[in-house]
Amino acid sequence: MCWVWTENVTETALPVRPQVVRSPDDLRAALAGRGRVGLVPTMGYLHDGHATLMRRAREVCDVLVVSIFVNPLQFGPSEDLAAYPRDLARDLGVVEEAGVDVVFMPDVDTMYPPRFGTRVTVSGVSEGLDGASRPGHFVGVATVVLKLLNLVRPDVAFFGEKDWQQLTVLHQMVRDLNVPVEVVGLPTVRAGSGLALSSRNSYLDAQQQARAAVLSRALMAVQAAYAGGEREAAKLRQAGLDVLAQDGEVTLDYLSVVGRDMQEREVVDNDPMTRVLVAARMFGIRLIDNMPLVPASQSPALQRTDS
C-alpha cells in the first residue's frame, strides 16, 4: 500500500488512492525517484486473476503500476474490440484494494500517434495455435507490451499463465531484444467450477459459465491420462476430446499438446514446460485455457476463487 504522512499525523498512516495518469510525461513524473517498479499490464474489466497478479507484485516491488488499455492492434477485423467489456469505476476499486500506486490509462492516440508505423513480430512461437487462428494478434500484443515496457521501465512485469502462448511470446521478445525486465508468469486463477477467469466470461450467464468449465475438465482429463503413464500425444488429446464431445455447444479450434517451443508433440517426454492448450467457442464466445502436464506425484493444485 502507498502511504502519506503529514506533520500533524504521528501515529496514523493515511492510504492514498492510486494516482491515475494518462500521458507518458505524467507517468515519468509519477515514477521519478521511485524504487523497484512492478508492472501489471491489463485491458481492464479486472477480475481476481488480475488482482492476484497485483497482490504478488505488491509483495516484491516498491512501486506497483497497472496499465489499463484496450489495445486495438491485437483485435482482428471480425473480433470484439467495440464490445470488449469495460467498467472503469469497478477497475479503480480493484486496483485501490490491491494497493496499486499508479494506474496508467493512455488513449489510443497516445499509444499509436499519427504516422505510427512500427510493429513487433516474434517468429516461431507466435505462429501456430492462436497465432494461426487470429492472424496479427501476437504482433499487436508484442507491440503494445514493448511500448508499455519502454514507457514504465519496470524491473518486473507480471502476466497470467492462462494466456500461455502470449507469455511464451513475451519471454522470447524480451530475451531477443535484451529488454531489461524480468517477466513473471503466475498460475491461472479459476472459478469454483474450474473455468479459467477471463474478462470475456462476462459475456456468459451463470449457467453458460458452468457449462464452459468443460474446457478445464478436458484439460484435467489429459493431465490424468499423462499422470497415469500415457505418453502418446494423440491418445492424450483423445482423452480431452472425449470430454469436450459431451457438450454439443463446444466448437473446437484446437486441443494441442506442445513443448516449450509451442510445437506439437507426438510423444511427450518429462519436460516440465510441456502444456496442453485448448481454444473453443461456446455460446458464441471464444475461450482459451491450458494446463501443464506433470507426473502424478507433482500434479498441481488448481488455484480457485469463490467468485
Active site positions, annotated: 50
Q: Return the exposure string of 235-257: e unless at least 16 CB atoms fall within 10 Å of the residue's CB, then b.
A: ebbbbbbebbeebeebeebbbbb
> Among the residues of 199-244, which ranges form H helices?
206-212, 214-227, 233-244
Cell of 293: 502436464
Q: Are 103 and 62 in contact (CB under 8 A)?
A: no
Question: DSSP for 32-63?
Answer: TT--SEEEEEE-SS--HHHHHHHHHHHHH-SE
| DSSP H or E run through 272 | none
**Category of 43 on φ-ψ map: left (φ > 0), alpha (ψ -120 to 50) or beta:** alpha
- CA-to-CA distance for 164 and 218, rounded, in angstroms? 17
Q: Which of 142, 101, 147 is nearest to 124 (CA)?
A: 142
Cell of 190: 479459476
